[in-house]
Amino acid sequence: MHDTRSDPNSLSSDAEFTLQVRQALLSAKHTIPKVAVLLFALDNDGNALVPHSESSRGVHNSVSMRLRSALRDSDTVAVLSSGQVGVLLQSVSGAQELEHVINRLLLCLAEPIPLADRSLVITPRIGAALAPEHGESVHDLLEHAQKDLAKAKTAIQPYSIHLSPTQNLVSSRQWMGELRQAIVSDQLFLTYQPKVNLRHQEVTGLEVLVRWQHPKHGIVVPDHFIPFAERTGLIIPMTLWVLQQSLLQCRAWHDLGLDVSIAVNLSMWNLETQELPGQIAALLRDTGVSPENLELEITESSIMSDPQRVIRTLSQIRSLGVRFAIDDFGTGYSSFAYLTKLPVSCIKIDKSFILNIDTDRDSSVIVRSIIDLGHNLGLKVVAEGVENARANEILQGFQCDEGQGYHFCCPVVAEAMTEFLSAPPSAVTEQTSKKNENWQPLDPAH
Ligand code: C2E
Ligand code: MG
Ligand code: MG
């Protein structure tokens, strides 16, 4: 094995990588973040590199150094004797962040690798597993990553993240048919959660959050089926369904005299489709909702996959009058420079920083800095995951523009939201006490 942390040319054994994974697993037991293991197979245009050849050594060195420069100091990169490259991430919040990191690593390997006599285009394949959910022993973790690497080698998507048992349920062929069916029948339904202006404590908009009412398994939360919908391409019709239904609902609220805006989440795969701007224009026309009443939430990783192309698509949609927000801000790895180039008007600070803002000094410093950064760039800043009055107060003190979270209201179905919106404007806090008694989140997982 070849640990490139300090000196990319110093050789060590596979055993050291295993030891580092074991140590990371032991220390992760005492902290909330998770540990991830990634195995990379490096092919040249679909052909495996000739093992131990000069070119394979050159490729391994360049790949290791590029990966090293894109990771944190605490992470490990190792060239294994199998010819694969192993990466150990010491601290990830979950599968979503893991996917962000993988996209970033793929991006840094996209440029051809210069060798002495030519340059090589590498088509890496990645298998990944997370601890503790995919196994708590080094053996389990490496085995899962290895199996997923084999899957990634035959898939369109160049990486595969191991699925936990519940996710596996959702990934079976049978469920794929069921999700397809769920989109055309009535099994998907929408919930709405208000964003609240922190100074006036008034509702400014509603985020649309999809749920699946499965006939046998009950309510399935999006974190369990959206990654699957993305892998199978079902995310495209699903997003159009969400957009259509929520715009129709928005129109119904307007007809009732309730002046609301909605925010719909987009996946990175939606931004890949060239038809999206035209489809959004047609949906706005058909439902009669003004574009100012629609916001689209995108994540940092969806921008980083192909920034130039994404900026073009976003600009086309922006020219319709639709606004954009960057969701889960702070969890991705995007360069701040992109913030100034994107047609976005808002950033939403990820809830992981807000949930412990009252007890964790680091979180509160980060939140304050993001708010200042956003304001200096002329952006509105929204805090997600406001769960209590103390967080609300702190964020008000930081001049954060808006908040979203259980403190104000859980995601609820349209009828309950109509009731919430129809109450007198000053009632957000009164309704909060009502919510605390009766308005439980639909998903116990949250
Ligand atoms: P998100 O867009 O960041 O949505 C916020 C998530 O935080 C929601 O989870 C919401 O229920 C939860 N939340 C709200 N307030 C609080 C709080 O005070 N405390 C805590 N702990 N959590 C809170 P949900 O609905 O399970 O959605 C999870 C993610 O699934 C969303 O994260 C979004 O990325 C994705 N998603 C949801 N609906 C759609 C959709 O229609 N399309 C796409 N592409 N993604 C969606
Ligand atoms: Mg969102
Ligand atoms: Mg979010």
Question: Cα-atom radius of gyration of the chain, to the nearest Å?
Answer: 23
Residue 405 CB less than 6 A away from ligand 1 = yes
Distance in Å, CA 98 to ligand 2 centroid: 18
Mean predicted lDDT score pLDDT of the chain:
84
CB-facing half-sphere around the CA of 113: CA atoms within 13 A: 26
Give SS3 for 40.
Answer: strand
Per-residue buried b or exposed e for 231-264, using 16+ beta carbons within 10 Å of the residue's own CB: beebbbebbbbbbebbbebbbebbeeeeebbbbb
Question: From the CB of residue 312, how many other CB atoms can be counted at a distance below 10 Å?
Answer: 13
Distance (Å, whole) CA 37 – CA 35? 7
Which pLDDT tens digit goes with each residue over 314-366? 999 999 999 999 999 988 756 677 788 889 999 999 999 999 999 989 899 99
The second-level CATH assignment, the architecture, of 10-160 is 2-Layer Sandwich (3.30)
Mutate to test the pocket of ligand 1, among 271, 328, 384 (most ligand atoms within 8 A of CB): 384
Name the more confident of 345 and 168. Answer: 345
The count of other CB atoms within 10 Å of the CB of residue 164 is 15
pLDDT grade, residue 298 (50/70/90)?
very high
Say yes or no: CB of residue 350 within 6 Å of ligand 1. Answer: no
Are the beta carbons of 77 and 85 closer than 8 angstroms? yes
Adjacent-strand bridge partners of 120? 113
> Which residues belong to CATH 3.20.20.450 in the chain?
172-437
242 in contact with ligand 1, CB cutoff 6 A: yes
| 289 HSE (CA, 13 A, CB side) | 30
Cβ within 8 Å of residue 326, ≥6 positions away: 297, 298, 299, 300, 303, 339, 342, 344, 346, 347, 348
Q: Which residues contact 155 (CB under 8 A, 6 or more apart)?
A: none
Residue type (1 letter), 181 = Q
Which residue has a Cα nearest atom 34 of ligand 1?
265
Establish whether residue 211 lines the binding site of ligand 1, counting it when its CB lies within 6 angstroms of any ligand atom: no
Q: Say which CATH architecture domain 172-437 belongs to.
A: Alpha-Beta Barrel (3.20)
Mean per-residue pLDDT for 75-81? 91
Q: How far apart are CA 402 and CA 197, in angstroms?
A: 4
> 327 C-alpha to center of ligand 1: Å?
10
Q: 340-356 burial, b if ≥16 CB within 10 A, otherwise e?
A: eebebebbbbbbbbbbb
Atom 5 of ligand 1, residue of closest alpha carbon: 384
Residue nearest to atom 19 of ligand 1 (CA): 385
Closest ligand 1 atom to 230 CA: 44
CATH 3.30.70.270 domain locations along the chain: 10-160
223 or 88, which is more confident: 88
Ligand 1: residue of 93, 179, 225, 265 to mutate (most ligand atoms within 8 A of CB) is 265
Find out whether the beta carbon of 384 lies less than 6 Å from any atom of ligand 1: yes
Protein residues near ligand 2, an ion, with CB under 5 A: 265, 297, 327
What is the distance in A from the centroid of ligand 2 to the CA of 265? 5
Instruction: Answer whether residue 402 shows pLDDT above 90.
Output: yes
Q: What is the pLDDT confidence band of residue 259, given thresholds at 50, 70 and 90?
A: very high
Residue (of 396, 398, 363) closest to 408 by Cα position: 396
pTM over 0.75: no
Distances (CA, A) of 152 to 124, 165, 228: 10, 19, 15
Atom of ligand 1 nearest to the CA of 96: 34
- Ligand 1 near 385 CB (within 6 A): yes
Question: Which of ligand 1's atoms lies nearest the C-alpha of 406?
Answer: 18
The token duo for 240 is 């159009």
What is the percent of the chain where pLDDT is above 70? Answer: 83
Residue to mutate (ligand 1; options 209, 269, 387, 392; most atoms within 8 A of CB): 209
Q: Please say if the pLDDT value at position 4 is more than 50.
A: no
Taking the CA of 331 as reference, the closest ligand is 3
**Residue 48 near residue 134, CB atoms below 8 Å:** no
CA distances from 144 to 37, 38, 125, 180, 387 (A): 9, 10, 15, 28, 36
Q: Which of 122-126, 169-173, 376-380 has the lowest mean pLDDT?
A: 169-173
Q: Which one has a higher pLDDT value, 163 or 200?
A: 200
